[in-house]
Amino acid sequence: MAIIVSQERFLSLVEENKKILYKVANAYCKDPNDRPDLVQEIVIELWLSFDRFDNRCQFSTWMYRIAINVAISFYRSQRRKVQNIVPIKDFILEIAVADEMLEQEGDDIRLLYKLINQLDELNRILIILYLDGYSQNEIAEILGISSSNVSTKVNRIKQKLQQEFESISISK
């Protein structure tokens, strides 16, 4: 009974924060076809760690930490074999629907996603967290670096992205 209650609570919290799954999968899969596997691996790790979630931070912050840690390992792994738990993997998260929405978005957002994917795996999440509206302290806590370090890095990446945006706009 306790497991069922815990599972219900877990699923509702993941449901509330499902966009994190999409954003992380989009940012860390070299091949878009790998995204269902990564989403599955993240959900499994979230569930296995859920009994240690103690509400000391927001669920979204905790979820981001786990999702990114799993994603970076997944991204760097060459021979990862994913244990399939569902017959149709895409059904865990309707990635295709989100992709269609992204396609319909303005050029800026699509370009931003593209430029973010060109950053290295650590800077990539830094800028996603910044765009998500996390404070410097929260980002520092998720990454495990100092706030001043976050501030320096965010400014540097912003400048870099800004330059990229400008050079692409000029070439258009």
Partner 1 sequence: MNLDDIKNQWSAFDKKLDNSIKLNTLLLKEVSLNKTNSFLRRLSLSIYAELILSFLVLLILGNFIWNNLYHIKFLIPAISLDLFIIFLVHSSIRQLIEINSIDFSEPIITNQKKLGSLRVRRINETKMVFLVSPLLWVPLLIVIVRGITGLDPYSIFSASWLVGNLLFGLAVIPIVFWVSKRYSHKFQSSPFVQSIMNDIAGRSLNEAIGFLDKLAKFEKE
Cβ-based nearer residue to partner 1, 65 or 136: 65
Binding-site member from 9, 102, 135, 151 for partner 1 (CB under 8 A)? 102
Ranges within 22-51 binding partner 1 (CB under 8 A): 22-23, 41, 43-45, 47-49
In eight-state DSSP terms, residue 85 is -
62 binds partner 1 (CB under 8 A): yes
Minimum CB–partner distance for residue 49 and partner 1 (Å): 5
CB distance 102 to 148 below 8 Å: no
Of 71, 131, 110, 26, residue with least CA distance to 139:
131
Tell me how far apart the 2 most distant CA atoms of the chain are, in Å: 61
Minimum CB–partner distance for residue 126 and partner 1 (Å): 9
Binding-site member from 24, 35, 52, 119 for partner 1 (CB under 8 A)? 52
Binding-site member from 58, 131, 137, 151 for partner 1 (CB under 8 A)? 131
| CA distances for 160 relative to 29, 120, 140, 148, 165, angstroms | 22, 13, 20, 18, 9
# chain residues binding partner 1, by CB under 8 A? 71
How far is it, in rounded angstroms, from Cα 52 to Cα 73? 21
How far is it, in rounded angstroms, from Cα 64 to Cα 128? 10
Minimum CB–partner distance for residue 103 and partner 1 (Å): 12
Minimum CB–partner distance for residue 33 and partner 1 (Å): 15
List the end-to-end C-alpha distance of the chain, in Å, as a whole number.
Answer: 60
